[in-house]
């Protein structure tokens, strides 16, 4: 109980934010604490290189560092 929960979402214009908002309600009812910070990855396909590896840009990396710190 009362464990922190962070979210990573991806997608088009809305970046999966409606899904994250719904999940925040679910984890709150399970007595978990959703963090305010999140990692949002718009149009994730542009971050996939020729070897099918995910290579995030500086903005995605900075948001991940914020969530994990």
For residue 52, the enclosing domain spans 4-68
pLDDT at 9: 92
Contacts for 17 with CB less than 8 Å, ≥ 6 apart = 9, 40
Spatial distance between the Cα atoms of 17 and 44, rounded to a whole number of angstroms: 14
What is the tens place of the pLDDT at every residue in 16-62? 889 999 999 999 999 999 999 999 998 888 899 999 999 999 999 99
Count of structural domains, the chain: 1
Q: What is the pTM of this model?
A: 0.78
Under the banding of pLDDT at 50, 70 and 90, the label for residue 15 is confident
- The answer to whether the beta carbons of residues 47 and 54 sit under 8 Å apart is yes
Both tokens assigned to 64 = 């991940």
């Amino acid at each position: 109980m009362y464990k922190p929960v962070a979210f990573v979402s991806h997608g088009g214009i809305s970046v999966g934010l409606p899904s994250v908002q719904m999940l925040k309600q679910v984890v709150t009812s399970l007595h978990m604490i959703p963090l305010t910070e999140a990692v949002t990855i718009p149009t994730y396909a542009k971050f996939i290189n020729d070897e099918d590896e995910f290579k995030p840009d500086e903005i995605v990396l900075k948001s991940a560092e914020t969530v994990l710190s």
